Amino acid sequence: MPFEVTILGSNSALPTSNRYPTAQVLNVLGRFFLIDCGEGTQIQLRRNKIGFGKIKHIFISHLHGDHYFGLIGLISTLNLLGLKTDIHIYSASELKNLLQPQIDFFRGEMSVNLIFHPLNFKKQQKIYEDKRVEVISFPVKHSIPTCGFLFRETHKPANIKKEMIENYNIPLNKIKDIKNGADFVADDGKVILNKQLTIPPSKPRSYAFCTDTAPHFPNLEIIKNVDLLYHEATFPESMKDFANKTFHSTTIDAGEMAKQANAKKLIIGHFSARYKDVSLFLEEAKTVFKNTVLAKDGKTYSIPGKR
């Protein structure tokens, strides 16, 4: 089952001809989450053949325009398509007031029902959970209140061996208990241990999104051992002083966060528009954290299942 992120926009404040502002779609087992919604997000959704109707949850890290200016256009399109669905938006509480005058100007009734969930910018908080995935928000270090997001698969039951069902004539009403750890008593009274009946589930996968932010080491405990980390690297190390002034990270900062978090893989992005060629960014980050890749608009990065 998929656990993959598609980059819709990898640039910072100013879009370029081949890099859009920040937006990503995370597909967790068929659940589609939109993370940030910079200008042009709906165009990028079209280009990457991601159906608008699949998106029910939108996470906005903060209220700098390059992270939400595409939202009103997306809402308008969803409405014009006549989609009758709830759209949950997780953001700073002020976002609703910013969007409401434009929403009020739409002609006719809204077909989509917007449900706003205010983020907590002072402490981590579980903001979404279903049977297969949970989402944790946590404050990062920027010039205005900003949150990062951790997406994590929840506990999985074990997989029962099909041949064991046949061998011991296991009834359907017992399978759920066995998957959750129960032993089985056969017709002759013999106890079949759970470890004989099942295959351990694959380990839960995780993805962390950290932008815009200066390196913020208190968050290492939250993102510890994450499978895939997206961390902004707006500037190369030569711009360290400017990065500090603007509460952004350099390539070395991002690599150090990934290294100390014991992340399995790092994606760097949110590149400054002043750099057409970002190959230097990759070279620098890899000096600290070897398993680093560049965020590239339209590219999908997958986390394979693992035992």
Tokens 């256009």, residue located:
73
Is residue 66 annotated as a catalytic residue, yes or no? Answer: yes
Tell me the residue length of the chain: 307
- Cβ–Cβ under 8 Å, residues 79 and 111: yes
Side-chain-facing half-sphere of 251: CA atoms under 13 Å: 24
Residues 6+ apart with CB under 8 A from 236: 250, 251, 275, 280, 281, 284
> Looking at 36, 66, 212, 253, which residue is catalytic?
66
Our measurement of the distance from residue 144's CA atom to the centroid of its chain's CA atoms, rounded to an integer in Å, reads 21
- Cβ–Cβ under 8 Å, residues 128 and 56: no
- Strands, DSSP E only, in the chain? 3-9, 23-28, 31-37, 55-59, 86-91, 113-118, 125-129, 133-139, 147-153, 159-160, 184-185, 191-192, 198-199, 206-210, 228-232, 265-269, 292-294, 300-302
SS3 97: helix
SS3 250: strand
Bridge partners for 34 per DSSP: 25, 58
Q: Is 223 exposed, middle or buried (0-12, 13-18, 19+ CB in 10 A)?
A: buried
Catalytic residue ranges = 66
